[in-house]
Chain A
């Protein structure tokens, strides 16, 4: 059982927006601004899409945005494209040098 809770699935049509949630506790998501999001296509390594709650690495389109409220972080993908169909994982600092508390993943389907 993963430490962070994500919905198992989400979907949207091309061009639409979809938001994926990631719920933790005050000991991880709620306690630090160290939430990151990853996109993983089948058989591939994860790719960092968001770090420190809302920052985008170079090369990640601004269609991807992150936010946090209390113990829940969210990833919003706007202007859905076919390539966005993938598994998405959230991660948070867990305190006490526990540097990778992950969610169970959300399968995003582009209809």
Chain B
């Protein structure tokens, strides 16, 4: 069965760049949009954006200026970069596979990222 495994730096200083990777095991990137969603401590979910196997992207307008997503089909991986982080970017970041519009049916285990000086 398809599984998502994600990793990346867990502690950043303000103004640094967040970088996370999500690998797809047991399936292909093709045919789906792959998303990043985050959850600040004790708070709700926030959609960051998505990318498909061809590199076509959609980003949350509120984060668009700082977000870059990329895909590596040879490694079956997607990546997220978020620049100029602040404490407000402290959250658990999830990668997820979109099933249909605005529905995410397969999730990674989550990566906790803390931004602190």
Interface residues of A (CB under 8 A from B): 2, 32, 34-36, 38, 45-48, 51-52, 57, 89, 91-94, 96-105
Whether B101 contacts A102 by the Cβ 8 Å rule is no
The A/B interface has a contact count, at CB < 8 Å, of 80
Cα A93 to Cα B50 with chains together (Å): 13
Q: Mark B40-67, 1 if CB is under 8 A from A, else 0.
A: 0001111100100000001011000000
Contact of B105 among A34, A48, A100 (CB under 8 A): A48
Cα A102 to Cα B46 with chains together (Å): 7
Interface size range of chain B in the complex:
20 to 34
Whether B94 contacts A36 by the Cβ 8 Å rule is no
Beyond A51-B103, A89-B44, A99-B101, list 5 extra A-B contacts (CB 8 Å).
A35-B102, A36-B104, A89-B45, A102-B46, A105-B44
Whether B47 contacts A102 by the Cβ 8 Å rule is yes
Chain B nearest CB from A37 CB (Å) reads 9
Whether A2 contacts B103 by the Cβ 8 Å rule is no
Whether B47 contacts A34 by the Cβ 8 Å rule is no
Q: Does B8 contact A (CB under 8 A)?
A: no
Q: Which A residues are in CB contact (< 8 Å) with B43?
A: 104-105
Whether B60 contacts A100 by the Cβ 8 Å rule is yes
Q: Which A residues are in CB contact (< 8 Å) with B108?
A: 45
Cα A36 to Cα B44 with chains together (Å): 15
Whether A91 contacts B102 by the Cβ 8 Å rule is yes
